[in-house]
Structure 1
């Protein structure tokens, strides 16, 4: 059985980590990664021994790549196409029709929200993305809630498999990064693309409500960085833009709490990575977060877009025994969200689909 994973290649967040860690679990002969551009994903994939093929585009609208991909699929005799992300999903429509390959996807975000603030182009691409989502043979949902979201789009529940994300859990936390914050400061790490769906503005609103402000580290880059920097000018003493970082584990290890403020997620790997570093979580009630966090014991769950609730959660965290909560979270996460379960469940679906 041979599976071709298709992704744009420019990803720097959770979908990048998900793809690499998933493919690492398979034999090299079983999986190939196809990308449209070089970047951190391709670099890490090759370093992990994953066969990675570049199908370069002159621009993201260069459709000549489709013929090359179709020839590659036929020449290599792949059994399954596994797409990740809006662009790969859109291209999958042509590839399935041209080659007849079985087509599955992991939906890493809400397709209705992928092109927020995209103007007319965003509206068009959203409609195309929603059309593509309905054309696939099978779907991986990274939480039961997300499975229900797909079913609400008219997709048969029989075609959707819930497969929880997983990571490598280590016996000891990483070495703490050196942070340029005052001694004894309460530190919150937020690993998220700088994108409207991630809720950074709500974080800023919440911080303005606090008399005692924590130091918030924003790890990630994205299309609205300049806009967010402008909106956080009055918070520059406590909000720190760190950009894309490869030492996320070390930053988590040096932090007191991890924060997710998204309006929509499937099952965020960033929170599992924080759990591995034994720090509790503050998260909006999105995706499978409720299956990871026990409120009051391993973290706090709040409503999306609720700055007042977020401010209250931060106050609670600053008064809590975060070390004890982090240890309890680690015990739960390492027992239930391993890479082994991710690999086994994914391969079972591949075998079932390929045998049809």
Structure 2
């Protein structure tokens, strides 16, 4: 069995990490990666020993690569085409009609929200994305919640497999990055949010929550880059919380940043099952997260973290306040230890690989 994973290549968030960690478990001769552009994803994939192939576009709308991709799939005898993200999914419509490969996808976010705040172009791209999504052979859902979301969109339940995200949990925590190098003090209460800078991730809500608390020693570390970086920097300044926020951009030392943090944060309006939270759990850092995707399968309220409604800055502020108090009385660290022990037993990379491989075999022979 041979599998080709296909993704645009410009991703810097959870989908990048998911693809690399999953493919690194497969033998090189069995699974390959196709990208449309070079970037952090392709670089990390090669460093992980993954077989990477570049199909470079002259622009985002250059479709000449489609025939090259179709020929590559046929010539190399790939049994499965596994796409990730709206652009790869849309290209998959063409590739399915010109190859014998079965087409599967992992949906990393709510496709109805991928292009939010993008105007008319976003409306058009959303319709195209949903068109592609309804033409695949099989789907991976990373939580039961997301499986139900796909079913509500008309996808048959027998074409969806729930496979939880997983990471390689370590027995030792990473060496913490120096807080001073991030412009932080040892006495600060540090919240770290690893997410691309996109409206769906809820950064502005976090700014509002921090403003409500009026605690200068609460500092927010933002790891990730994206299209609204300048807008968010201006927003933080206009809300008078700019001195509490650190924009780090894309980083490859996320584990070390988490290890220097007191709390991990997710404020998204939509997610599937965030790898960033598992990475925080691996560093024994408790969580505050909005109620998205499969987070309730990871977080136990008041024991390993706090779950808040989406879009609710007041609820986020309340959760931050509880975490702040737990930090001051010494209980927050205990919550992080409990989270690590639970997550490492339930969300391993080995389990992700095993269930994915078994599903590929079933899809290949057409078994439901």
Conserved in 1, the CA contact under 8 Å of 2:79 and 2:100?
A: no
Partner of 2:80: 80
Counterpart among 205, 208, 228 of residue 224 in structure 1: 228
2:281 alignment counterpart: 275
Aligned equivalents of 1:215, 1:124: Cα separation in 2? 39
Establish whether residue 181 from structure 1 lines up as the match of residue 184 from structure 2: yes
Partner of 2:260: 254
Q: Secondary structure at the match of 1:45?
A: helix
- Distance in 1, matches of 2:305 and 2:186, equals 24
Query: Which has the larger displacement, 107-116 or 211-220?
Result: 211-220
**Per-residue deviation at 1:117?**
1.4
Residue 212 of structure 2: aligned partner = 209
**Contact 2:74 2:100 (C-alpha < 8 Å) held by counterparts:** no
Q: How big is the shift at 1:230?
A: 0.5
What is the deviation of 1:183? 2.7
Provide the rounded CA distance (Å) in 2 between the counterparts of 1:312 and 1:162.
Answer: 32
Mapping for residues 79-158 of structure 1, pairs under 5 Å: 79-158=79-158
- After TM superposition, the structure 1 = structure 2 runs for residues 55-70 of structure 1, keeping only pairs within 5 Å, are 55-70=55-70
Match of 1:197 in 2: 200
Structure 2 unaligned spans of 5+? none
**Which range moved further: 155-164 or 211-220?**
211-220
The counterpart of 1:328, out of the listed 331, 338, 342, is 338
d(CA) in 1 for partners of 2:77, 2:177? 46
Report whether the alignment pairs 1:354 with 2:358.
Answer: no
Q: Distance in 2 between matches of 1:142 and 1:123?
A: 26
Q: TM-score, normalised by structure 1?
A: 0.99
- Corresponding position of 1:307: 313
Matched, 1:238 2:241: no
Distance 2:277 2:260 in 1: 15
Q: Distance in 1 between matches of 2:215 and 2:87?
A: 43
State the alpha-carbon separation in 1 of the partners of residues 32 and 243 from structure 2: 45
- Quote the Cα distance in structure 2 between the aligned partners of 1:164 and 1:282: 20
Rounded Cα–Cα distance in structure 1 between residues aligned with 2:115 and 2:68: 27
Please give the alpha-carbon distance, in whole angstroms, between the structure 1 residues aligned to 2:151 and 2:106: 14
Whole-angstrom distance in 2 between the partners of 1:206 and 1:212: 11
Q: For the residues of structure 2 that align with 1:23 and 1:119, how far apart are their CA atoms?
A: 35
Please give the secondary structure, in 2, of the residue aligned with 1:130. Answer: helix
Aligned length: 356
SS of residue paired to 1:105:
strand
Displacement after TM superposition at 1:120 (Å): 1.2
SS in 2 for 1:189: strand
SS in 2 for 1:6: strand
* Alpha-carbon distance between aligned partners in 2 of 1:324 and 1:242, rounded to the nearest angstrom: 28
- Comparing 36-45 and 204-213, the one that deviates more: 204-213
1 CA distance for matches of 2:57 and 2:215?
A: 49
SS at match of 1:275: helix
Q: What SS does the aligned partner of 2:98 have? A: helix
Shift of 1:266: 0.2
2:322 to 296, 300, 316: 316
3-state SS, counterpart of residue 52 of structure 1: strand
**In structure 2, distance between residues paired with 1:65 and 1:311:** 48
What's the CA shift for 1:211? 2.5
Q: Deviations over 1:91-124 (max 9, x none)?
A: 0000001113200000001100111111111111
